[in-house]
Amino acid sequence: MLQEFFNDLIAKVKYNKMLQQFNPKNKDIQVFVKEGLCHRKDAKVSVFDSSVQGGDAVWEGLRVYKGGIFCLDKHLERLYASAKSLAFTDIPDLSFIKNAVFDTLKANAMKDDVHIRLTLTRGEKITSGMDPRLNQNGSCLIVLAEWKPLVYDNDNGIKVITAHIQRNTPKHLDSKIHHANLLNNILAKIQANVAGKDAALMLDAYGFVAELNGTNLFMVKNNILYTPHADACLHGITRGLIIQIAKDNGIELVEKNLSLTEFYTADEVFCTGTMGELTPVIEIDGRIIENRNKSELLPFLQELFTAVIPEYSEPLPF
Ligand code: PMP
């Protein structure tokens, strides 16, 4: 009986279309780990590293567009804020991190259509254990740049389900820290996989909508743009930019507690994030987002977002 249940579960997870596949172009990429570059097969951290011992690391996901890194300073600011909140010591300075990022892109001749996973771990411990005082070898910077198109299908959109597991409030592990301890989001994603959907919607401790497992959420009703307060979601950089773009273009924007009912009955719903830019959400828990009011705000925001990319990108020095 139990075996049958697990076989069924594995089959469902296996045959649900994955959003990402291995890209052979990334077969021989160079990766920066702590002090320098190496081939991906040698890009490793120690078993004593804090990321292995406790998911004790902070990270950023960045995109490279046409010779520039989008919102580089904003991402580095958030990386430093996350590291400070977790009381990291021996953090590399700004020029070290920027040079490591530029060197990695240069070594791989990458100028466009690239995603960078920038990770800073608390570093190697002298013996296994939780105590950060065991970290006596400095923090460890990893720059993983890969050829990667946008992860979501922004023309056709994504379908989501609500997960049973909640996003953290500041009382638990503050969602404003962009840490690598991602298990509650991973559990939510597993639920979406099992249900055959693309992503999981996560609620906050009160049952209001927080975000998707890897992106922020917006909805439109009667030409007003709404997004949840950033209390139980990551204060996404794309989210912040959309709020700015809305203000600059006279689009009414309201940040408030939003329930699932409000999302089910919205005219348009979309998610935002570095991995997919602005992506329509076309179904939530089996409810089709119907858009009876013929709202067209999302395509307009997508256009405005694309237009500001060069302005917010730091040019590559090579
Ligand atoms: N929410 C979560 C949980 C995320 O992990 C991310 C991206 N890492 C986002 C939202 C989107 O943030 P950003 O726009 O800064 O990429």
CATH 3.30.470.10 spans which residues of the chain?
24-147
So what CATH class is 24-147? alpha beta
* Ligand 1 midpoint to CA 292 (Å): 29
Output the pLDDT for position 17. Answer: 76
Sheet with 30-33, strands from edge to edge, namely: 36-39, 30-33, 140-147, 114-121, 57-65, 68-70, 313-315
Q: DSSP for 136-170?
A: -S--EEEEEEEE---SS-TTT-EEEEE-SSPPPPT
What helix, strand, coil percent values describe the chain, rounded to 5? 30, 25, 40
CA distance 118 to 64: 13
Atom 5, ligand 1: which residue's CA is nearest?
214
pLDDT score for 166: 95
Q: How far apart are CA 145 and CA 37, in angstroms?
A: 11
- pLDDT of residue 37 exceeding 60, the answer is yes
DSSP-based three-state secondary structure for 267: coil
Of the candidate CATH numbers 1.20.1250.20, 3.30.43.10, 1.10.3470.10, 3.20.10.10, the domain formed by 158-308 belongs to: 3.20.10.10
Name every protein residue with a CB atom under 6 angstroms from any ligand 1 atom: 61, 185, 211, 214-216, 234, 236-239, 272-274
* Residue nearest ligand 1's atom 1 by CA: 215
Q: How far apart are CA 313 and CA 88, in angstroms?
A: 28
Residue from 144, 234, 279 whose mutation best tests the ligand 1 pocket (most atoms within 8 A of CB):
234
pLDDT for residue 300 is more than 80: yes
Averaged pLDDT of the chain = 95
Q: What is the pLDDT of residues 167-209, one digit of tens each?
A: 998 998 999 999 999 999 999 999 999 999 999 999 999 999 9
Closest among 166, 253, 175, 193 to 218, alpha carbons compared: 253
Return the residue matching tokens 């065991």: 134
Mean pLDDT of 252-257: 98
The pTM assigned to this predicted structure is 0.94
Distance CA 88, CA 206 (A): 31
Instruction: Report the pLDDT value the prediction gives residue 296, as an integer from 0 to 100.
Output: 95
Backbone angles phi, psi at 106, to 5 degrees: -65, -45
Confidence of residue 12 (pLDDT cuts 50, 70, 90): low
Q: What is the mean pLDDT of residues 9-15?
A: 58
Boundaries of CATH 3.20.10.10 in the chain?
Answer: 158-308
pLDDT, mean of residues 12-20: 69
Q: Whose CA is nearest to atom 9 of ligand 1?
A: 215
pLDDT at 32: 98
Higher pLDDT, 49 or 19: 49
Q: Residue 18: what pLDDT?
A: 87
Which protein residue has the closest C-alpha to ligand 1 atom 3? 214
What average pLDDT does this structure show over 295-307? Answer: 97
pLDDT tens digits, one per residue of 257-295: 999 999 999 999 999 999 999 999 999 999 999 999 999
What tens digit of pLDDT does each residue of 49-68 get? Answer: 999 999 999 999 999 999 99
